[in-house]
Amino acid sequence: MAQKRTFSGKRVLITGASQGIGRALVETAVKRGARVLAVARSIDLLESLAQDLKNQGFGIEILQADIANPADRIKMTQAAQERFGGLDILINNAGIGATGHFADTTPDTLRSIMETNFFGTTETTRAFLPILQLGDKPAIVNISSIVGRRALPARGLYSASKFAVEGWSQAIRAELSKDGIDVIVINPGLTQTNFSQNMLEQKAKIQLDHLRGMTSEEVAEQTIRAIERGKNNLYLTTRGKLLLLFARFAPAVIDFFAKRRVRKLFAEEIAQRQQQRKQITVPNSLKDHVAG
């Protein structure tokens, strides 16, 4: 278990803070009394967020930065020092995605996803470690995904990046215990955000109905509660929890239904390939050789 903590007076930096879960995390944390530095690539959306909160009587700090950019990671640490005098909680929320079956995707897409979701997260954390070591009940909070624990067809690239985050988080949780730094992993399921609209690619034949998921505000509230209560891991949505339950005790069942769904979606392609196989003729020279 991690340490229990309150957000009142805590210095918090949240990446990917301009939209969706990130924006909701900013709103929830600041209303709990935290001092928040909201970071994202879009300065316009950050300014809109800051104005909305100002209208409600709350103030935040904002910073335009891309976690995949080494210079911007340095800028984030400098901003935390200059504006807050340090940092207590780092919430690694920024991420990008893509859908599509592996054979139809490109190496560049995979590298872009890993650069932000994994390397951006790990190297932002590395940059903040000396600052967090001096924080008050410090914590690193990694926003991962249910598909970072059990992959689904057409989400392989995104899943790979989140599996990497999960493995790395497990390792540093033990390593950073000597510094009093907690490592908390949040695994949302389907969430009602515009994340799917901002994906690098959308080539999946298997669609997921995000409108049936949790709202960003619900995810943010449960995330903040998990941090306050000292949870190491949080798994969200009933469907997400059921998926992990089957993945643990009956993984073959998930494989069976996933394969069946893929084969159904690609039935026409499968039929065409089978027809092509039938049309392949054995070369005459080979026939003669066999006959002899």
Which residue, among 23, 21, 32, has the nearest Cα to 216 in the 3D structure?
21
What is the residue type of 39?
V
Helices (H), the chain: 20-31, 43-55, 70-84, 107-114, 121-132, 156-175, 216-229, 238-249, 251-265, 267-279, 284-291
162 is catalytic: yes
Q: What 3-state DSSP class applies to 8?
A: coil
Whole-angstrom distance, CA of residue 132 vs CA of residue 125 = 9
Return the amino acid letter for 269: E
Of 10, 18, 112, 158, catalytic: 158
The amino acid at 280: I
| CA separation for the pair 183, 201 (Å, rounded) | 31
The three state secondary structure string of 191-210 is EECCHHHHCCCECCCCCCCH
Q: Measured on CA atoms in the order 70, 94, 65, 179, is the torsion positive or negative?
A: negative
Question: Whole-angstrom Cα distance, residue 292 to residue 289?
Answer: 5
Distance CA 257, CA 262 (A): 9
Point out the catalytic residue in the list 162, 169, 216, 231. Answer: 162
d(CA 48, CA 42): 10
Q: Is 144 in the active site? A: yes
Among all residues, which ones are annotated catalytic? 144, 158, 162
